[in-house]
Structure 1
Amino acid sequence: MTVSDECARGRGRFYQGTLNKTKDGLPCQYWDSQEPHSHNRPPDVFPEIKNAENYCRNAGGEEPSPWCYTLDPKVRWQRCDIPICGESLA
């Protein structure tokens, strides 16, 4: 396990950065909130989102990259645009 806050390694399960907007610029919902989207990913179940506020995460490594629930009632969740570790940023 290698924690990173600048980029995502693999599926980004241990990404711990502070990006809190999706790839389309939607603000992320707080993980300990059930509004506007209810979910079953409370911080006490997934240690990766403990103290994660509303930051992009990939709790459990279930998705291909970090994501978040959005504050847009019409868009439940969306992936975040986080660079992959080791890829050139040019």
Structure 2
Amino acid sequence: MSGPSLPGPTPKCKEGKGVGYRGTEAKTRKGVQCQKWADNVPHKPNYTPEKYPQAGLEENYCRNPDGGEQGPWCYTTDPDTRFDYCNIPECEAASAKLNKM
């Protein structure tokens, strides 16, 4: 029995919960720099590239490895804030904006 199928990677925007987002946004919605997924400082991550190779946990890019409702997030470099969500535009909104240009 296989797990749920994941949407294909989307580079610049998120579809649904953003599980397939593979862009390079590396700051939270509050402007805090993201911690690298493979680092253990300042936070020891539960989600790592080794444990979740299909989640695209590269560098310090925003991702949604747990499939949470609020979309892509990252561990932060702020010792007082373990993680936060990122401002990733919805794909529909991104394409609508392009169509207006």
TM-score by length of 2: 0.81
Check the 8 A contact 1:8/1:85 in 2, yes or no.
yes
Check the 8 A contact 1:22/1:80 in 2, yes or no.
yes
Check the 8 A contact 1:11/1:58 in 2, yes or no.
yes
**Cα deviation, residue 39, structure 1:** 1.9
Q: Kindly indicate which of the two structures has a greater share of residues assigned to helix.
A: 2
Q: Compare relative contact order (CA 8 Å, sep 6+) and give the higher one, 1 or 2.
A: 1
Q: Structure 2 CA distance, aligned partners of 1:24 and 1:65?
A: 15
Aligned-pair identity in percent equals 40
1:35 aligns with 2:41: yes
Q: How many residues align?
A: 89
Q: Structure 2 CA distance, aligned partners of 1:70 and 1:63?
A: 19
**Cα deviation, residue 60, structure 1:** 3.2
SS of the aligned residue for 1:18 comes to coil
TM-score by length of 1: 0.90
Number of the residue aligned with 1:48 = 55
**Cα deviation, residue 63, structure 1:** 4.2
Q: Structure 2 CA distance, aligned partners of 1:70 and 1:60?
A: 16
Q: Structure 1 CA distance, aligned partners of 2:59 and 2:83?
A: 15
Check the 8 A contact 1:17/1:55 in 2, yes or no.
yes
SS of the aligned residue for 1:3 comes to coil
Per-residue Cα deviation, 1:42-71 (whole angstroms, up to 9, x for no partner): 102212134x10000001313421000000
Q: Which runs of 5+ in 2 are unaligned?
A: 1-6
